[in-house]
Amino acid sequence: MIDIGVNINHSFLLDNLEQTLTEMREVGVNGMICIASDLGESKLVQKLGQKHTEIWNTLGCHPHQAKAWSKSSKVDFSMLIQTAKPIAIGETGTRFQS
C-alpha cells in the first residue's frame, strides 16, 4: 500500500523521520507520495525522496501559495524536474489579476 497525499512538512512527521517511516512500514504502508505546495516544500520533498527510497516527491505551487510565484519560479521548478524526476507535478495554481 502507498499513501498518496502526505504533507510531510509537519514537524510531527519530520522531527523523527526514521520513526515515521518505521511506523509506516509496521502498518503495511510501503511508501508515500509527498506533496508540495510551494518551491520550498518542493525542494524539501525532493531531497527526502533522494535519501529515502520509500518516499516519492511531487512538485507544485498550490493556488494559496501563488503569491510566492515569481519570474524565476518557472526556471527554479524546471531545474528541480531535471535534478530528480518527480512522480507528479501539481498543483500548478496561478494568481489572477483583475
DSSP H stretches of helix in the chain: 11-14, 17-26, 39-51, 73-83
Whether the predicted pLDDT of 49 surpasses 50: yes
Q: Is residue 67 assigned to a domain?
A: yes
Q: Is residue 98 assigned to a domain?
A: no
Q: What average pLDDT score do residues 11-21 get?
A: 93
Q: Is residue 54 assigned to a domain?
A: yes
- 70-89 pLDDT, tens digit each: 888 889 999 999 988 899 98
The pLDDT score that the predictor gives to residue 93 is: 60
Closest listed residue to residue 86, CA positions, set 24, 43, 30: 43
What's the domain range around 33? 2-92
The Cα 69–Cα 94 span in angstroms is 8
Q: How many separate domains does the chain show? A: 1
* Residue of 47 and 66 predicted with greater confidence: 47
Q: What average pLDDT score do residues 21-26 get?
A: 96
Query: 94 pLDDT band (50/70/90 cuts)?
Result: low
The pLDDT score that the predictor gives to residue 83 is: 86
Q: Is residue 12 assigned to a domain?
A: yes
